[in-house]
Structure 1
């Protein structure tokens, strides 16, 4: 997360299958980024997992 903050890309798309680690990482990225979109996606419908896609924009 430190490297992403250092790079300061204008847009970051974060795809995760673990909402707990995604929440932790988003808190670390909050220094330079704001969440602009969130979309859960069921990429594997025969499992209990759901992926989460978050778009972040540089503040």
Structure 2
């Protein structure tokens, strides 16, 4: 299954303005999004570490 997480508009908004409402919403959303889970778990361990650090993500 292809994931569009690399091109997600909400993710881009978070990257630009993480403290905005949409940025905070996206960050909360990735804890529950099945698309993000599929995207995240399909990445290499190096990429996962990068994403964990960038988004303070520890769920998977």
Give the TM-score taking structure 2 as reference length. Answer: 0.37
Higher Cα Rg: structure 1 or 2?
1
Give the TM-score taking structure 1 as reference length. Answer: 0.38
Structure scoring higher RCO (CA < 8 A, sep ≥ 6) equals 1
